[in-house]
Amino acid sequence: MKTQCLVVNPWNPEGPVLEEATGILRRGGLVAFPTETVYGLGANGLDASAVTAIYRAKGRPSDNPLILHVSSPLEAEPLAFLDARSRALMSAFWPGPLTLVLPSRPIVPFETRGGLDSVALRMPDHPVALALIDRVGVPLAAPSANLSGRPSPTDASAVLFDLGGRIDLVLDAGPVSVGVESTVIGLCDETPLLLRAGGTAKEDIEDFLGVPLQIPNEESSRRSPGTRYRHYAPFVPVLVWKPPEPCTCPAPQIWGYLGLTPPPLPFARVVLFESLGNYARGLFAGFRLMEKEGLEGVVVQWPSGEGIGLALRDRIRRAAAVGS
Ligand code: TXA
Ligand code: MG
């Protein structure tokens, strides 16, 4: 398969480009598109065979469910059983990097739900994503557009690197703004769960709900299968440096470094971020840069866990866990 790549205006997507993507999606094909968090690999979320093609292209375990992307809160109504709490969260945080896991209605295929009785819903904050969903007229199932286990793609070249030849089309709208995936919260029981830290700060959701988000135990993390898998890892090893502990690296002269403050060792390549937000935006791209430049590994500075820092910590922890 040849993967087509079309440049699209991020603020005002061109009609003919959307038309091309819409045609592919209506025929059951795969289109990677930008969201504010990371690029997604989209298919018709109500078509079981289109959804199966997503799992195949990514090499993703079929029990790891997908997020359905909608272009308005109203479109969520036929997909899940909503209540006052979920509707309030949608009006406060959508469009934006917040995914709600809710009891599914029967219209959502088994394949999209990874066999669970719940469904994950999100309205992305990106004009291209919203226009595309709107035009296709169905919710788009879309995991991050990387090979399973790899860092999520924050621009079109990362999508092509992982999935070129395996999908029909990539819409290139330039780099994303958030850089880590959405926050996933579980709303199937009375106690809201934090299933994945992400682009919406945990503190903001808790302030809004007036109750703390519970961190899932063994039992409920079985309900968010994605959290069981190793993830976000570049091909090179990742080591974490937690100041004030000593920074250890087998060979800084052939390793790279990503962090907020200058490293105490002479690394071959140093990428410094000015803020936690920039760190989040640049972490996955930084991993891919280190690979491309042929470095032997990367040392990553452990950030504070506030705001988006919680998501950064989670991604860094998982990337570094590979091989251990
Ligand atoms: O920002 C994002 O969320 C991006 C963009 C493309 O929207 N998407 C994304 O999708 O990160 P993915 O498939 O890479 O991650 C979805 C996460 C996984 O951890 C999955 O297990 C969890 O959401 N999830 C999906 N459906 C679920 C469900 N019904 N119950 C529990 N967890 C669910
Ligand atoms: Mg992913």
What DSSP string runs through 131-142? HHHHHHTSPEE-
Q: Is residue 296 part of a domain?
A: yes
Which ligand ends up closest to the CA of 180? 1
Residue 19's CATH number = 3.90.870.10
Which ligand ends up closest to the CA of 120? 1
Indicate the DSSP class of residue 309.
H
CA-nearest residue, atom 12 of ligand 1: 143
Contacts of residue 234, defined as CB under 8 A and 6 or more positions apart, other chains included, come to 150, 151, 287, 288, 290, 291, 298, 319
pLDDT value of position 323: 46
Burial class (CB in 10 A: 0-12, 13-18, 19+), 144: buried
pLDDT value of position 223: 55
295 with 162, same domain: the answer is no
Q: Of 35, 25, 56, 39, which is closest to residue 140 (Cα–Cα)?
A: 25
**pLDDT > 70 in the chain, percent:** 95
Q: Of 281, 308, 16, 11, which is closest to residue 169 (Cα–Cα)?
A: 16
CA distance 240 to 276: 16
The CB density around residue 216, as the number of other CB atoms within 10 Å, is 17
pLDDT value of position 232: 86
- Name which of 229-233, 266-270, 277-281 the model is least confident about: 229-233
Total of domains in the chain: 2
pLDDT value of position 152: 98
143 with 266, same domain: the answer is no
Q: How large is the average pLDDT for residues 58-79?
A: 97
Ligand 2 centroid–CA 119 distance in Å is 16
Ligand 2 centroid–CA 152 distance in Å is 6
Binding pocket residue ranges, ligand 1, CB within 6 Å: 35, 37-38, 40, 64-67, 97, 99, 101, 113, 116, 118-120, 122, 124, 142-144, 181-182, 184, 195-196, 223-227
pLDDT in tens, 115-151: 999 999 999 999 999 999 999 999 999 999 999 999 9
149 with 108, same domain: the answer is yes
pLDDT value of position 151: 97
209 with 244, same domain: the answer is no
269 with 152, same domain: the answer is no
pLDDT value of position 231: 79
Q: Of 309, 154, 161, 311, which is closest to residue 235 (Cα–Cα)?
A: 161
158 with 270, same domain: the answer is no
pLDDT in tens, 189-236: 999 999 999 999 999 999 999 999 999 876 656 556 665 556 788 999
CA-nearest residue, atom 15 of ligand 1: 143
* Helix, strand or coil, per DSSP, at residue 98: strand
Residue 186's alpha-carbon distances to 107, 183, 224, 279, in angstroms, are: 20, 10, 9, 27
Cis check: omega of the bond before 264, within 30 degrees of 0: no
Q: Is residue 232 part of a domain?
A: no
Q: Of 80, 131, 121, which is closest to residue 98 (Cα–Cα)?
A: 121
DSSP 56-83: HHHT--TTS--EEE-SSGGGGTTTB---
Range of the domain at 173: 4-221
Q: Whole-number mean pLDDT of the chain?
A: 95
Q: How large is the average pLDDT for residues 86-110?
A: 98
207 with 256, same domain: the answer is no
Ligand 1 centroid–CA 270 distance in Å is 31
pLDDT value of position 230: 62
The β-bridge partners of 31 are 42, 169
Residue 261 in contact with residue 304, Cβ under 8 Å? Answer: no
Ligand 1 centroid–CA 100 distance in Å is 10
Choose one of 171, 184, 185, 223 to mutate for the ligand 1 pocket test, by most ligand atoms within 8 angstroms of C-beta. 184
Indicate the DSSP class of residue 165.
T
CA distance 145 to 107: 25
CA distance 31 to 241: 37
Contacts of residue 231, defined as CB under 8 A and 6 or more positions apart, other chains included, come to 149, 315, 318, 319
Q: Enter the pTM of the model.
A: 0.96
Q: In degrees, to the nearest 5, what angle opens at C-alpha 76 toward C-alphas 71 and 80?
A: 155
103 with 140, same domain: the answer is yes
pLDDT value of position 146: 98
Residue 320 in contact with residue 239, Cβ under 8 Å? Answer: yes
Q: Is residue 74 part of a domain?
A: yes
275 with 211, same domain: the answer is no
CB-based neighbours (< 5 A) of ligand 2, an ion: 144
Residue 297's CATH number = 3.40.50.11030
pLDDT value of position 217: 78
Task: Specify the amino acid at residue 111.
Answer: E
pLDDT value of position 244: 95
pLDDT value of position 224: 61
Which ligand ends up closest to the CA of 69? 1
Q: Is residue 284 part of a domain?
A: yes
254 with 194, same domain: the answer is no
pLDDT value of position 106: 98
Structure confidence at residue 324 as a pLDDT band (50, 70, 90): very low
130 with 274, same domain: the answer is no
